[in-house]
Structure 1
Amino acid sequence: MGANHHKISCIADELVRWIRDDYLQIIHVHSRTIGLWSKELLACMTQLIAFAVVLWCPIGQNKVLINALFVAEQSIYDHIEDLMRIIDYKPFHKEMKPVRSNDETSIIDAALMILMVIVRTQNVSWFFRSNVSIQNALTTLAEAALYDEICLHIYGILSEVLSDEQFKNLKIADSMGGFFFNMLEQAWQHPLKKYKHSQIEHLLR
């Protein structure tokens, strides 16, 4: 089992280094022209970011792999801003569904998952704490989201990066309490102690 895990990690490391530059460049360039995307380009970008989720999120605590993606510190902040341009694109918000059944919902969900990996493995809390526009964009999306897992990602990101005082002052702080209580209640009653795809211990982080 340990040998297989090591082999998978080595393959993943090689793959990250192989696609790194192209992935970051594609997201960087196209996030700046998001208003011009066709349906076909949206589908391609959704698949690209979803592929990154499959590659990084299951092993998101592995800093070696994340560091292999971000060879320069500035590239971390650039990628956060690129993902935020996609996440904060209002026409996507209007098309969000209560399940991940279209590209608009899927790309926002996937981008948030990558942000979650970044905040848990990189020293970026100061960047979020000092960037009010990012905080506002995330809270606005949480208010508009119909898909519970999008809300879960946002609450998780904000709870990781904000100070206790900043967190309490969020305009969605009260609704977050009710949201988490409802999730925990449903997870506790689930035979596998899960809320949808999230283990109960993840909800209690």
Structure 2
Amino acid sequence: MRGEVEAGLRTAIEAFVTLARLTPVLSNTLDRLYTVRASPCMMSAESALMHASRCQEQLNTWLAEVPLSLRRPGAMINNYQAALAYYGIAVSIQRAVFACVGGTTHYDRERELHLYREVFSLLESLLQEELTGLWLSYCKANLGIIGSFFIVALLSSTDDQVYSARYDILRQYCQFLGRLDGRYAFGGLPKLRFNLLLQRLPQQRIASGRSISDREGG
């Protein structure tokens, strides 16, 4: 029994250290893409893609160094915090790219869809677990970051088909948050926030020149 407890403790410590090693990755992403002097809205497409690529490379390096015991989120306490933090940064990189080149030939729409699939797979996996002690602040913050990108992408859609697809993605995300709220306390606030936003958004793209209030008024 003592050996099992010690093994579990070692894995928890390993998970915490792995999460802490994301700090310089996040710092680099913010410095390159989210400061007054370094905003994707002020960059050329080539510059934004270069900075995003370097941030993604650093994130990929972190992922490659994750211990095998934490490679797939399981029942250990810190695995999902690290996974959600990873996707919080990945989405932040994607959001910066989207702000600069979204809707152009420079934008990789397939990368966006792949990110959605990975996030949903993670949430589905989390819902299959019986976990205790998850750090609420980490989970809530990254769920908010991920959902905010879904909103930005949706509202920036210039094509009816893309808008509908992104609306469905946001709807699915809200459903996941509802299911999480039934299992974990950290799902409550993100669920409330994004469901309220979803209720205000039309299921079909509004024609240019019309506002949401115009549509609601007929």
TM range (shorter): 0.3 to 0.5
Tell me which structure has the larger Cα radius of gyration. Answer: 2
Give the structure-2-normalised TM-score: 0.45
Give the structure-1-normalised TM-score: 0.47
